[in-house]
Each structure stands twice: as structure tokens, then as C-alpha cells.
Structure 1
Amino acid sequence: MGQIRLGGNPEISVTLRRSARARRLSLRVSQLDGRVTLTLPNAVSEKEGLRFLRDKEEWLRGHLSKRQAVVVVGPGARLPVEGVLHEIRPTSGRSVVQAGGLLLVPGEPDRMAARLKGWLRTRARDRLSEASDRYAEALGRPYSRLTLRDTRSRWGSCTHDGGLMYSWRLILGHPQVLDYVAAHEVAHLRHMNHSPEFWAEVTNLYGDWKAPRRWLRDHGAELHRYRFD
């Protein structure tokens, strides 16, 4: 892989990738971090790839301009909790307080993001444990453990030995989306696939899952724009 730059305002950094399996040139913008990748089949020259990139420049700039900016979590920033935006403000005390559209976070400003992240993870574990317990009881199959991660490729997973994993960032989205992901992963305790029987099980546990699944597809990447580091 290499790196090239498309001049202009702003300049765009593009990762150049060769692929023996690719049949045609392709340009991809990551929905998670906005990274631009140009994939070239082995038979295509870099010169031809650059020509393709310039032909697509207007589309690329338009696509990048529509992406929402990264939000650095700190005083004055606005952060969603269960789908509702809250403004972050410093406060005295020992615990994070959620009240009236505010998140009141104690401690030094440079530690606020870490403290808030810990608070969100605890809240996510509580909500996901409750939802997973409820759906597992309805299914009649227990899970073996529940872990939280900050995954970018998936919102949840289920292992063959009954372990459930979720992205803690689900707590930023609407509660029904978190509930749907829990039902989805619990349904895998019975069906380790995405067969019609699996989706029937999800429907039996959750109900009509199409809207929250569509929200994750269309808006889920937005939950990754909040930076806590």
C-alpha cells in the first residue's frame, strides 16, 4: 500500500491499495473515520489510477463534505446519551450527573473525557445486561458472559460457547437500537447463522427489527465520531 495526496482545498490523503482479486478500479470512503482508499487491480497502472481519482474528485469532495465532524469530548461539547444530546459541563462533586440536558462531570478538564467514558461504559453494561437477561429468559437459553468493547466493525457478537460481546457506544444511540442489538445477539444462542429461522427468532424476541437495523446502517457510524482520547 502507498499514500498519495490529491491537491486542492482541502488536500485529500488517499491510500493506494493493490489487489490481485480486484477486477476494476474502486474508490471507497470509510464511514467510520473518513479514510479514502483507491483500489487498483494489478494490471492497472498507477498513472491510470490517478486519472480515475481526478475524474472522481468532485464526487469525493462532495461525499467528504457531508461527513459530520469529529467531536472531541470535553467541556462545552454535546454528546448523545440514549439518543438525546447533552451538553458537557464541569462541576464539583464525585460523580457524573445527568440532568436537564446536561452532563455534569467532576474533576480536572483533562480527565473529564476519561471519567465520562467510564460512566457511559457502566451505563451501557447495565442496559445491555438487562436487555440480554430479558431476551435470554424469553429464549430459554442462558449466555455465559457479557463483555464490552469499542469495536468498529460490528455492534455485537455471540460466540459458540454463549459469550455475548457488545460495543459500549450503543449507549449513545436510541434505546430501541440497543435493545435490537441485544435481541439479535441473544437469538444467535440458538441460531449461529443469519438464516430465515434466525430472523424469525429475532422477530419473536424483539418484534419488527427493520427500523433499528436501518438506523444502524444509516447512522451508526456517527456514534464513532465522538473521541474520548
Structure 2
Amino acid sequence: MDLPDSETIRLAAPPGDCRVQWRPSVRARRVSLRICPRAAAVVIILPPRAGRRAGLALLRANGAWAMSRLAALAPVAPFEAGGQVAIGGQEHEIRHDPAARGGAFLHDGALVVTGEAAFLARRVADFLRAEAGRRVGALAAGHAAILGVAPRAIRLKDTRSRWGSCARDGTLAFSWRLVMAPGWVLDYVVAHEVAHLREMNHSARFWAHVARLSPHREAAVAWLRAHGPALLRAGPRAG
């Protein structure tokens, strides 16, 4: 039986509807669950020989956990006029000025968005992505110079769970949503991935490179654990 990408499952205990996303994985060894904050869904990971029945059995056995985690998600924060968006950890009002020019720009503590209202959310996201690229690029260049390395390329993505990654070919990738976090959180994530250009592991040598680049490891990890899910609830969301 072919699995749908997602579906809504009615749970009996506790009663309620639960959105489920199915994720077959050739690398998974067992059926597992995780929460996707962006989609407000339970992701069920299935190894090659497990099917929908096994996934549903695990979900129903952990229904109370799943429903409590979904209920605890931060509220959706759409990009809309009069709303707020964080940039570098500082809240900015989203101010719509249809008569102005320039797409989107910062002015007097606000993010001013021009043009038609129908394009406002997209222009806010475009601004944040561009700002993320500028900030990530500057941080990566500085950290790479200290370690004597150079990334092959830097890419921005809208990831569901990983804030950054380093590919074997030296390409670094980051979630553009990190631009909403405090600058020291972004600094740590960039330092972490740049350090992988020297050590593609998490050995003691790797962590020594990270410590050399950024003093914020413990605080940044704690901040992302506490506030990262809210970043995934801001603006555009996955279906």
C-alpha cells in the first residue's frame, strides 16, 4: 500500500485529530516519532520493512505525548502588517507602506514593506533570507579565515530540523530562519559548521575548533532548544 505524504488521524486516547506526516527511511532501524513544529504534525519514520500499521501502533501508544507536544507548540506568527518579526533577536514591527519603493527595508525600528498587500508576506521572507545570507556570509568568512579553510559554497534553506550542515564537498547550508535568532546564536551555528571544514566529526579536536571560534556553544544550544520551534512557526510554513 502506498503511503500518503500526510493525513489526519483520529486518536481515541486522548481524543483528538492528529496530523501525521509519513517518512519512509532506508537508514532507519526502527519506527520512531518526532514533532514537526512547522507543520504542527507528528512525523512517523518508517524503516524499509515497516508499514503504516506499525507506525499507527506506535502513534496510538504514544498518543498522550504527541498531543501534548502539539498543544505546546508556539502559536503561528504570520508575516502580516502590524505584526512582529524578530531580526537578530530584536522585535520589529512589520509596517506596510504601499506607496513607498524598495521592496522591504528597516527604518526607525520597523521593517517597512512596500507594494501590494498580497505580496507582503513574501517580501518579508525575501528580506529575511537576504539578510541571513549577508550575516552568515560575513560570519563564515571570519571564522574560515581563523581556521585557514574556505567553504566551497554557502546555501540558505528552509529546513525542518537542522539549523546548519556541512557537506563532504565543503558546501555549508543554513536555515535562513536563524536570522531571527540573537546574533550570538547565529554565530555559534556558523562556527559549528565552519569547524566541520577542518574536522568532519564531533571529536575533541572538532570541539576545540568550535571553542576557538565561538564562546556561545552551551547558551546557543539551550536557546535553540527553547526557542527554535517558534522560529519554525513564523511566516511561511510547510504543508
Q: Do the two structures share a fold, i.e. TM-score over 0.5?
A: yes
Query: Aligned residue for 2:142?
Result: 134
- What's the secondary structure of 1:103's corresponding residue? strand
Does residue 160 of structure 2 align to residue 152 of structure 1? Answer: yes
Question: Is 2:130 aligned against 1:122?
Answer: yes
Q: Write out aligned runs for 1:180-219 (5 A).
A: 180-219=188-227
The runs of 5 or more residues in structure 2 that have no matched partner are none
Query: How many Å apart are 1:174 and its aligned residue?
Result: 0.8
- Indicate which of 93, 97, 111 corresponds to 2:100: 93
Contact persistence 1:171–1:178 (CA under 8 A): yes
Residue pair 2:77, 2:234 contacting (<8 A) in 1 also = yes
1:62 aligned residue (63, 68, 81): 68
Residues 1:178 and 1:215: Cα distance change in structure 2 (over 3 Å): same
Would you say the 8 A contact 1:6–1:13 is kept in 2? no
Q: CA–CA distance in 2 between the matches of 1:206 and 1:40?
A: 37
- Report the CA distance shift for 1:138/1:15 in structure 2 as closer, same or farther (over 3 A): closer
Matching residue of 1:29 = 35
Alpha carbons of 1:11 and 1:100: their partners in 2 closer, same or farther (altered >3 Å)? Answer: same
The whole-number CA distance in structure 1 between the counterparts of 2:211 and 2:188 is: 10
Would you say 1:72 and 2:78 are equivalent positions? yes
Is the Cα contact below 8 Å between 2:74 and 2:229 reproduced in 1?
no
Do the aligned partners of residues 162 and 110 (structure 1) sit closer, same or farther apart at CA in structure 2, a change above 3 Å counting? same
One-letter code aligned to 1:137: A
Distance in 2 separating the partners of 1:177 and 1:85: 16
Residues 185 and 39 (structure 1), Cα distance of their counterparts in 2 relative to 1, 3 Å cut: closer
Q: Counterpart of 1:161 in 2: which secondary structure? A: coil
TM-score normalised according to structure 2 size: 0.78
Q: Percent identity?
A: 38
Q: 1:71 to 1:204 in 2, by over 3 A?
A: same
Query: Which string of whole-angstrom CA distances, capped at 9 and with x for unpartnered residues, describes residues 195-224 of structure 1?
Result: 111011100111241111222223212211
Q: Which residue of 1 aligns with 2:185?
A: 177
Q: For structure 1, which segment, 180-189 or 26-35, has the greater mean C-alpha deviation from structure 2 after superposition?
A: 26-35
Q: Measured at CA, do residues 156 and 59 of structure 1 come closer, stay the same or move farther in structure 2, by a change above 3 Å?
A: closer
Report SS of the residue matched to 2:149: coil
User: Alignment length, in residue pairs?
Assistant: 226
1:13 positional shift: 3.7
Q: How far apart, CA to CA, are the structure 1 residues paired with 2:18 and 2:168?
A: 43
Q: Is the 8 A contact 2:184 2:216 kept in 1?
A: no
User: Does the CA contact (< 8 Å) of 2:40 and 2:70 recur in 1?
Assistant: yes
Note the C-alpha offset of 1:134.
0.6
- Tell me how far apart the structure 2 counterparts of residues 228 and 52 of structure 1 sit (CA, whole Å): 27
CA RMSD of aligned residues (A): 3.3
Change in Cα spacing, 1:10 to 1:148, as seen in structure 2 (3 Å) is: same
| Alpha-carbon distance in structure 2 between the residues aligned to 1:64 and 1:226 | 16
Query: 1:181 offset after TM fit, Å?
Result: 1.0
